[in-house]
Structure 1
Amino acid sequence: MSESTSQPASASYVVAFGQHPDPTHTIAHLSDPHLLAGGVRQYGVVDPEAGLVRALERLEHLRPAPQALVFTGDLADKAEPEAYARLRALVEPVAQRLGAAVVWTMGNHDEREPYAAGLFDVTGPAAAEPQDRVHDVAGLRVVALDTSVPGYHHGELTSDQLAWLADVLAEPAAHGTVLALHHPPIPLPLMPAGAIIELLDQEALAAVVAGTDVRLVLGGHYHWTSWSTFAGVPVSVASASCYTSDPAPLDRLVSGVDGHQAFTMVHLYEDRAVHTVVPLAAAPEVTGHPGDVHAQLAALTPEERRELISRKDSWLNAEGEDHAARG
């Protein structure tokens, strides 16, 4: 199933301060909001809606703005229709303000029929099928793969899905392809029990991906940030906006905690991708400069900027050290 969601390129920086050009594409990678209907809290503690709202607020601070908001699954904790409706009500106005496409991906907590009806207005037999979709974001192809298994928490892709994906990838996209799926094909050295609910038969997917124009694989599921490679392609796993998994728990098989929530920004260039974790929690600023300094720096020559910012005894650096000493 294909959807054309081409968006204009994101606003460029006024002046490039370094040797690299602006990114060609900017993606906000969010995962595992686990929304619940009626404001119910997870485990009686975590407010999943508050986490998602905080993530969306942080998104609107970013420049350049993302061209796509890619959600890698577990959108609704219990697949409630009201939760999907609330998800759209929260996300779509923000996406519209940003001029961003929204890419939804199925997770193990989602259920196909309410997911398809609530997010795509699809009902009937098509709603019971795997919810795989293709999005065009200004020439970048984003393929949302449904790795869910009805009645289970592990993931898999059927032979029909793999054949469909091979057909999609047979023709390269203008700026390559990003795969979005809930169950990421990565090892789990810090949470080996998580492998019980991993994506099965990963080699079958690798055989389809290898040698194609796939540039990135984006996943979620494990509620922490991680990176790896798969079939020669970088894999980025985003943390959750609800609760997260503690990678260093004390005497616990697994440990879900109310902290460390984040999403990941992905900046694509012609020859590389840059991933940046954006924490959701507020933190006190201990040093910094106001935003209008950007315009002042842009008015300088590259040599003047280097002398001001890089030179250790420049007035700006001396002023910063003096401020720190005064507290």
Structure 2
Amino acid sequence: MDHPRFGRYPAARHVIAHLSDTHFLAGGAPLGGRADTVAHLDRAARQLGRLAGELDAILVTGDVTDLGEPDAYHRIRDVLEPLAEATGARLVWVMGNHDERAPFSEILLREPHTGDVPVNRVVDLDGLRIIALDTSVPGYHHGVLESETLDWLADRLREPAPFGTVLAMHHAPIATPLALMDVLELRGQDALADVVRGTDVRLILGGHLHYPTQGTFAGIPVSVAGALAYTMDLSAPPLELVGIDGGHSFSLVHLFDDGAVTSVVPVGSYAEITSFGEQFVRELEALDDEGRLERFSRKRGSASNG
């Protein structure tokens, strides 16, 4: 959807809502007996619903459920599929270590799944290619990109996409200050670097860590979304791993022709401190640049005004 722009940067060509680590349980049960994951996702969905027509994709980077229960997959699908339809966004699911491949594929993707082959997919968003990689290891919580997945990825990346490629994976190739999470990191990162280096991969999106963070890998920006289920408290003592029922968030990823910006969106209802509505934007639209500076930039009632 076209909106007025007043600065040097154009509107984003693609916008992705990046959610992660919803950890749904069968029957809508609270996670750990406390965290109301259903309510957290419902709040996020209401906020995303305000962006109808603005989103190209809603991407969920794994740990969709906590135990891989079919009922849990049905419940989250029943929330996010209508949201995707209402907003005009493509819904993209990625496997996580808490997910189980068979129900994940059969319920979320509506595709049969046999054996323990990774669930890897390619999604085209009007020229932007999203490659969803399955980093899960059956029976474990750490991540691995199997040789067959790396070969599959290398084959897909031989031909560049018109607007480049975004890799989506649960275990992001990024450092963490949480020592215990090192045990559960993605193994075989050097091999992944060899595959993606020099390709059209422009961004890597992940989850797993339960807090939003950014970094780089093989010269490529990496963005990890916060968790909707619960958040790791990075202010806890260094040798502790503490998850709290707060700080829930998702990310909005704006992709431009020459870059990308990731923004963290808090989930919840908060007191409004300041607000400018559409009418004010339309007023600025009718002004030239100098007029906009006078209308919106000039300080009111300060010494600089005389």
Question: What TM-score do you get using the length of structure 1 for normalisation?
Answer: 0.89
2:282 counterpart of 1:292 = no
> Do structure 1's residue 208 and structure 2's residue 164 form an aligned pair?
no
- How far residue 251 of structure 1 moved from its aligned partner, in angstroms, is 6.8
Aligned equivalents of 1:52, 1:213: Cα separation in 2? 33
Question: Equivalent of 1:107, from 93, 96, 100?
Answer: 96
Structure 1 SS opposite 2:159: coil
SS of residue matched to 1:235 = strand
Q: Matches of 1:192 and 1:272 in 2, distance apart?
A: 32
The residue that corresponds to 1:72 in the other structure is 61
User: 2:165 aligns to what?
Assistant: 177
Residue 85 (structure 1) aligned with residue 60 (structure 2): no
- The partner residue of 2:150 within 154, 162, 174 is 162
Q: Secondary structure at the match of 1:52?
A: helix
Q: Distance in 2 between matches of 1:124 and 1:150?
A: 14
Select 2:288's aligned residue among 277, 298, 301: 301
- Alignment-derived partner of residue 325 in structure 1: none
Residue of structure 2 in register with 1:61 after alignment: 50
Q: Name the counterpart of 1:48.
A: 37
Q: For 1:155 and 1:216, locate their aligned partners in 2 and report how far apart those are by CA, in whole Å.
A: 19
**Aligned mates of 1:254, 1:229 — CA distance in 2:** 24
Matched residue SS, 1:174: coil
Cα offsets for 1:204-238 (capped at 9, x unmatched)? 10100100000000000010000010011000000
Question: How many Å separate the matches in 2 of 1:291 and 1:186?
Answer: 39
Q: How far is 1:252 from its partner?
A: 5.7
* Coordinate RMSD, CA, aligned: 1.6
- 1:289 is matched by which residue type in structure 2? F
1:106: how far off?
Answer: 0.1
Q: Deviations over 1:180-210 (max 9, x none)?
A: 0000101112x12100000001111010010
Q: 1:137, CA displacement in angstroms?
A: 0.4
Q: What does residue 20 of structure 1 align with? A: 9
* AA aligned opposite 2:204: V
- 1:112 & 1:251 partners in 2: Cα distance? 34
1:31–1:220 contact (8 Å) kept in structure 2: yes
Amino acid at match of 2:252: M
Distance 1:235 1:130 in 2: 22
Give SS of 1:87's match: helix
CA distance in 1, matches of 2:256, 2:287: 26
Work out whether 1:278 is the aligned partner of 2:268.
no
Task: Name the residue aligned to 1:8.
Answer: none
Note if 1:267 corresponds to 2:254: yes
> In structure 2, what is the Cα distance between the partners aligned to 1:59 and 1:243?
19
Deviates more, 1:116-125 or 1:103-112: 116-125
Shift of 1:63: 7.3
Which residue of structure 2 aligns with residue 196 of structure 1? 183
Contact conserved, 1:225 with 1:239, CA < 8 A, in 2? yes
In structure 1, what residue type is equivalent to 2:133? Answer: L
Size of the aligned set, in residue pairs, is 303
* AA at the equivalent of 1:188: T
Q: Give the aligned residue type for 1:296.
A: E
Gaps of 5+ in 1: 1-10, 319-327
Distance 2:206 2:213 in 1: 9
8 A contact 2:212–2:225 mirrored in 1:
yes
In the alignment, is the contact (CA less than 8 A) between 2:207 and 2:226 conserved in 1? yes
- Residue 96 (1) aligns with residue 82 (2): no
2:286 partner amino acid = A
The answer (yes or no) to whether the contact 1:260–1:281 under 8 Å persists in 2 is no
Between the aligned partners of 2:47 and 2:189, the Cα distance in structure 1 is 34
Is 2:210–2:227's contact at 8 Å kept on the other side of the alignment? yes
User: Separation in 2 of the partners of 1:94 and 1:115?
Assistant: 19
Aligned residue for 1:305, secondary structure, equals helix
AA at the equivalent of 1:274: V
Percent of counterpart pairs with the same letter? 48
Three-state SS of the structure 2 residue aligned to 1:128 is coil
Q: What amino acid does structure 2 have at the position aligned with 1:306?
A: L
Shift of 1:36: 1.0
What is the rounded CA distance, in whole Å, between the counterparts of 1:60 and 1:218 in structure 2? 22
**2:234 maps to which residue?**
247
Are residues 1:256 and 2:246 paired?
no
**Does structure 2 retain, via aligned residues, the 8 Å contact 1:307–1:314?**
no
1:128 positional shift: 3.4
- Residue 139 of structure 1 aligns with which residue? 127
